Homo-oligomer: A and B are copies of this chain.
Amino acid sequence: MTATPGLPLRGARNPGSQGALRHLNQERLVEFLLANGPSTQAELARGTGLSTATVSNIVRDMAMKGVVATSPVTSSGRRALLVQLTDTGDIAVGVDFGRRHVRIVLCTLGYEVIAEEEVPLPLGYDVSGAVREAAELLDRMLLAGAHDRQSVLSVGVGIPGPIDRRTGTVLQGAILPEWVGVRLRDLEDVFRFPVVVDNDANLGALAEVTWGANRGVRNLIFVKIGTGIGAGLILNGQPYYGFLGITGELGHTPVTDQGVICRCGNRGCLETIASTTVMIETLGHRVNAPVSTADILQRGRDRDPAVLRVVSDAGIAIGQAIGNIANVINPELVLIGGPLVGLGDALLDPIRRGIQHNAIPVIADTTAVRISSLGDRAESLGAAALVIQGALAGNE
């Protein structure tokens, strides 16, 4: 299933010509670029411990040999040189299964997106049918780009639920009950590629520090607010999986003593009062007509008081749960993802108030809270990043 040893390792160590990598320091730069995506020379120096002069010399050498490409950018208001690996022909595939869609991205080891497509899935879709549909979409995308199947390193798949890394199965608690018990080896049989899987919130967090505006942040919580409320963690610069791989279950913080029974088996969990499902249900009582997340977005932008109140109540509760966690893991940054992020400050402000309520003052004052920089692309881009990083780790 997820084991990186099973990954094909072609190209991971020699993304340029082997001759170009004869020096250890070059290898360190390449490994850093593989792990972190396009980086400025200053980031390369900080990340590898090499001097800026050494980095600059090696980058010039590698650029001449075609291993990397450089482009001028602005970083923290200063001019900088962005360095990225050039194309080796190897392809990482990222697949994101949502509640009503599957999205696929193809990209290079240098974190360049080659192709990207999304197709809708019916609500409550049959999982094996959806996986077949995704495999066919991937085949069509490869064909359209004239990409050899041999060039695919492996397929990263994002699943909306907790994954037990001991057994490689989706656990009870998946947003989509159809996914429960799916063995991830089954995915390999359908895709006919090696597959790595992860939870969608974990992939969102990974995408933010590899593809997103938050590259280089070492301690980050990515909170996805949707049908469920889950968090992905980057700690000490690495995706964090804990003992069994069942991390970030923020939605199951009990918040009310006599609340309703939650799908996890506990009672009064955050999800039972603050998920988009509950918001939709609560608002539906008033209008006596089905409400969708799109309605919440639209009416929220129109400043409908009921929508703002429901979002605010949910946001405060979510913020309080985040505050408890921030007190313990002291993140630099909390990123909010999921279908409601278009609400902007109407969603962020109550979350910030909740954090302020529960976190000790120095933590509340120093923890940045922002909307995810990648929107609905985060999970699929994170799945592709998992493939790139897995290939690297498997080769060390």
Contact = CB atoms under 8 A, between A and B. Distances in A.
Interface in A322-358: 324-325, 327-332, 357-358
A235 interface: yes
Please tell me how many copies of the chain the complex holds: 2
A298 to B, nearest CB: 33
A357 B162 CA distance: 20
Interface string A266-296: 1000000000000000000000000000000
B360 A330 contact: no
A123 interface: no
Contacts of A34: none
B357 A254 contact: yes
Contacts of A241: 330
B244 A366 contact: yes
A173 interface: yes
B244 A329 contact: no
Q: Chain A interface secondary structure, helix, strand, loop or mixed?
A: loop
Interface string A358-391: 1111110011000000000000000000000000
Contacts of A172: 362
A86 interface: no
A219 interface: yes
B330 A247 contact: yes
Contacts of A362: 162, 164, 171-173, 244, 246
A252 B329 contact: no
28 contacts: A162-B362, A171-B362, A172-B362, A219-B243, A231-B328, A236-B236, A240-B329, A242-B331, A242-B332, A243-B332, A243-B366, A244-B366, A246-B360, A246-B363, A248-B328, A249-B327, A249-B328, A249-B363, A252-B327, A253-B324, A254-B320, A254-B357, A254-B358, A264-B361, A265-B361, A266-B357, A324-B325, A328-B329
Interface of A: 162, 164, 171-173, 218-219, 231, 233, 235-236, 238, 240-250, 252-254, 264-266, 320-321, 324-325, 327-332, 357-363, 366-367
